[in-house]
Structure 1
């Protein structure tokens, strides 16, 4: 008995009691609802402004179905595709992975370029110079002096990167000719061989700019390797999801086609019932509408297949002209995927070991350590130990234009010049001819030794280096906070992924039960219709529910597979789970 019946009985009892006591009173009137008040402006929803009467008499009389085909796809050209094949094609052809691969190559060249600084370097010059200048000396009677020189110099520089040491060897050669009468030798040969060693004592000994660039280039190369692996993980995860979406779309297309078949069978069945007098002729209209709805669903399912397939092709095709674009992709991978048996703690442990984001953060911290080491070294005083040695050689011939200015005022000029010539010959024997230059060098005839320190100190302190050091230390703190944020975000992803798998399992169970039960309900409702205990609308409702249940069951399974792929991605195990090695 409903609540309304109880209320009526209660009111009747109250009336009887009041009548017995002579105090019967009519029940209190039920307040009426607030009367509707018209809009004072006279505007009602059905009279909304801005809605012109456009195409009011339009009806479509075209009952033909559009051509059922896939745009740009040859239905006869089918290609069976496993998930492993799709992943392999994506790794070979995916543009994002190719970009990451190029980035890795660029980082490798940057490292080679940085190391080039410490390669031995050969420098030098070879030139001939001839100059004529006015005579400005009282010792020469020439109006001008012409001098020609041929220079050939070479030097080689080597480094000891570990200590910042610089070693240099130089050899200098010069052949000099002149018409200056006070020059003793013409031609004159000058050569020297020297060595220089420079060793930083404070700044530059442990770290300098070239070593900083090299160390950063090394870390960047490691980071690009990790970024390449990250791109590979993202690509593989995307292919997995696209593969299962295409699997579901094709299954849904088949379900909708089966729905059209069932709806047409139901329509024929209804027509027989009309002929037998068990149904009214108007009941056929509902079945015809059901057929039209399912036919429309087939077109929508075909469009979903086209979208899902194009998404997968975009991930695995090498270019827009590849043959795969005209092929029909048929996923043949078994939809039953093994569920990962992992606890939350195990999943988090794997994620903290394998997630590329944490490795990238680690590489950035390594770069920051290099920066701190460099800027700390830059705050030290720049004092270098310098040592050098050189050996020179001289040779040549007597200047034919030589004329001693001291013999001009001599009382016996001829005797003076003869004595002068004798002295020149003795000088030439001492100096040696052109062939004495090299022996002079290696006999250490004219050596030069140098040892000392050189320094470059800012008077007010190197504030720029200290500021850069402070910046690097703050950046280290920022990277540590960033790492904590990444770890927390990874924890959220892992937790959600595990929970999503459990939810997907429950969804699959529900979808399986729903499909089985709706099948029974549909068959039962058909039997009731045949016996006159139901109507066509309930049958069509059960038929619609059965079609949706069939589609939802595989949707739930593919969603579970996608949830498994997402958990593998969250743990950083996408590549190992699919037997992929990123190289």
Structure 2
């Protein structure tokens, strides 16, 4: 029976050895590429590669282009046109001046317009210049060919609606605020990413430490199984005791497989935060954290944490920007409820030059003034000399019978202002609860860590005492193994408490809005 049992035990030992080889290959990465990574490196990689941050940066660039698009409304616009026109009309009066029953005219025209918006006050301007070469067979034309030219300037200035808060200015101010919102969103996502990386990093540290301890338990239980098997073979130990040790070995093996899976899951969670893409070589590597769990404590008081949160939390900054946008809309819609009163003014210059018509000299004894005789250059000279001009100024008033649309939009903006204020108070209350919970979690985690350390120290002393008892024959290997397993569980409990403490500290950084500053991170959204 003992031989049969020895054979069975050898098979179990072989299985355990095979498992250890698997754990060594998959868990500790001896056969895979091993990448040592610090917490700082993980944070930097996540900020550089995480897709949510990249999407937020792209949104910021989109908002930047939106702002440039709105500002472009102030860019002057120019229009040039040129055409040639030929007409031949029948005469219907002896005063038509036509020859052979028709009036023939040729007109070559060129024009240029420059228009734009004033930088302040909501005004708009328009500058037009045109010049022509006009020929005709009309015998009554004083100049043929003639070169008319015109230059006019028109300016419209709102006196009531649109003067203080023009639509384009409102659009620009809101676009600037939207750009600030996207910048805040980038920082917000970066903060969340940092906290997620820290939590995932410490989870991986714990998982690898747990796998190391579980491997030691497998080694110890296997050694105990081999010892009990030899004792059972010599008849100094009951077979039932061997079965109990065998079951314990199988349980430790099962736990080791579970810890190996936990390491893989923890690695994948961290890799998902830091790798650049699904094709990254890092997916096939084994991550080895270089930072270790410690007993770091926070020196921040609860009141300091609450004050920092109210100063730094990005939710409140977003609320401030929303309030500023609402204030812009209120001013604009308040302005829209006014009547439309515009000051309209224009000034024009005219020039003319040409060759005197020889056909009319016999009919009209009055000679053409000399300053009109010439070609296109003479027309421009007369234009610039301001010989012929026109001036116009007036007021254009638009009085709507009802202005319910503007009043409704103003009313909505006022209600929205109340809503923004209510949301801000809600955020402040939620932030206070968040900080208090995070601060309490840090305190509890620190206490649990201290308690776990006391338990571990006590079990270390108990284990050492049991080994001394074994050396003098007052204890057994099974009891020592029990103490070893209990000590391993205490070590795991302490490591879990340390991990939760580190994660609680990270959550407190998030609650205080201090994650970027605490980790020395400067975010550039564009």
Give the TM bin, normalised by the shorter chain: 0.7 to 0.9
In 1, are the aligned partners of 2:103 and 2:138 still within 8 Å (CA)?
Answer: yes
The 3-state SS of whatever aligns with 1:420 is: coil
In 2, are the aligned partners of 1:161 and 1:211 still within 8 Å (CA)?
Answer: no
In 2, are the aligned partners of 1:393 and 1:440 still within 8 Å (CA)?
Answer: yes
Provide the C-alpha distance between the structure 2 equivalents of 1:496 and 1:306, rounded to a whole number of angstroms: 31
In 1, are the aligned partners of 2:99 and 2:138 still within 8 Å (CA)?
Answer: no
Provide the C-alpha distance between the structure 2 equivalents of 1:524 and 1:273, rounded to a whole number of angstroms: 24
Match of 1:153 among 111, 126, 147: 111
Provide the C-alpha distance between the structure 2 equivalents of 1:441 and 1:291, rounded to a whole number of angstroms: 108
Provide the C-alpha distance between the structure 1 equivalents of 2:342 and 2:275, rounded to a whole number of angstroms: 60
Q: How does 1:343-362 map to 2 (within 5 A)?
A: 343-362=301-320
CA deviation profile, 1:124-163 (whole Å, cap 9, x unmatched): 3222233455555564565655433222111223443221
In 2, are the aligned partners of 1:73 and 1:326 still within 8 Å (CA)?
Answer: no
Matched residue, 1:194:
152
The 3-state SS of whatever aligns with 2:353 is: strand
Deviation of the 1:119 alpha carbon: 1.9
The reply on whether 1:564 has 2:520 as its aligned counterpart is no
Provide the C-alpha distance between the structure 2 equivalents of 1:371 and 1:445, rounded to a whole number of angstroms: 49
Match of 2:85 among 111, 129, 135: 129
In 2, are the aligned partners of 1:313 and 1:324 still within 8 Å (CA)?
Answer: yes
Matched residue, 2:70:
114
Match of 1:243 among 171, 176, 201: 201
In 2, are the aligned partners of 1:201 and 1:384 still within 8 Å (CA)?
Answer: yes
In 2, are the aligned partners of 1:74 and 1:326 still within 8 Å (CA)?
Answer: no
In 1, are the aligned partners of 2:160 and 2:338 still within 8 Å (CA)?
Answer: yes
Greater shift, 436-445 or 277-286, is seen at 277-286
Distance 1:134 1:304, change over 3 A: farther
Greater shift, 95-104 or 430-439, is seen at 430-439
In 1, are the aligned partners of 2:50 and 2:274 still within 8 Å (CA)?
Answer: yes
Matched residue, 1:312:
270
Matched residue, 1:51:
none
Unaligned runs of 5+ in 2: 1-10
Provide the C-alpha distance between the structure 2 equivalents of 1:290 and 1:146, rounded to a whole number of angstroms: 117
Structure showing the higher helix proportion among its residues: 2
Normalised by the length of structure 1, the TM-score is 0.80
The 3-state SS of whatever aligns with 2:115 is: strand
Match of 2:26 among 49, 70, 73: 70
Deviation of the 1:208 alpha carbon: 1.0
Match of 1:504 among 422, 432, 445: 445
The number of residues matched between the two structures is 504
The reply on whether 1:271 has 2:229 as its aligned counterpart is yes
The reply on whether 1:96 has 2:52 as its aligned counterpart is yes
Deviation of the 1:72 alpha carbon: 13
Deviation of the 1:116 alpha carbon: 1.1
Provide the C-alpha distance between the structure 2 equivalents of 1:399 and 1:302, rounded to a whole number of angstroms: 107
Deviation of the 1:511 alpha carbon: 2.0
In 2, are the aligned partners of 1:278 and 1:532 still within 8 Å (CA)?
Answer: no
Deviation of the 1:387 alpha carbon: 1.9
Provide the C-alpha distance between the structure 2 equivalents of 1:145 and 1:422, rounded to a whole number of angstroms: 23
Deviation of the 1:300 alpha carbon: 1.4
Provide the C-alpha distance between the structure 1 equivalents of 2:252 and 2:130, rounded to a whole number of angstroms: 95
Provide the C-alpha distance between the structure 2 equivalents of 1:313 and 1:142, rounded to a whole number of angstroms: 94
The reply on whether 1:484 has 2:440 as its aligned counterpart is no
In 2, are the aligned partners of 1:175 and 1:188 still within 8 Å (CA)?
Answer: yes
Q: How does 1:193-342 map to 2 (within 5 A)?
A: 193-274=151-232, 279-336=237-294, 338-342=296-300
Greater shift, 513-522 or 153-162, is seen at 513-522
Provide the C-alpha distance between the structure 2 equivalents of 1:137 and 1:298, rounded to a whole number of angstroms: 115
Provide the C-alpha distance between the structure 2 equivalents of 1:519 and 1:137, rounded to a whole number of angstroms: 127
Provide the C-alpha distance between the structure 1 equivalents of 2:245 and 2:238, rounded to a whole number of angstroms: 12
Provide the C-alpha distance between the structure 2 equivalents of 1:72 and 1:183, rounded to a whole number of angstroms: 104
The reply on whether 1:517 has 2:517 as its aligned counterpart is no
Provide the C-alpha distance between the structure 2 equivalents of 1:557 and 1:531, rounded to a whole number of angstroms: 37
Distance 1:467 1:422, change over 3 A: same
Deviation of the 1:214 alpha carbon: 0.5
The 3-state SS of whatever aligns with 1:187 is: strand
Matched residue, 2:387:
445
In 2, are the aligned partners of 1:72 and 1:326 still within 8 Å (CA)?
Answer: no
Greater shift, 440-449 or 123-132, is seen at 123-132
Normalised by the length of structure 2, the TM-score is 0.88
Distance 1:275 1:531, change over 3 A: farther
Unaligned runs of 5+ in 1: 1-60, 403-416
The 3-state SS of whatever aligns with 1:444 is: coil
Deviation of the 1:219 alpha carbon: 0.8
Distance 1:133 1:245, change over 3 A: farther
The 3-state SS of whatever aligns with 1:282 is: helix
The 3-state SS of whatever aligns with 1:205 is: coil
Deviation of the 1:397 alpha carbon: 3.3
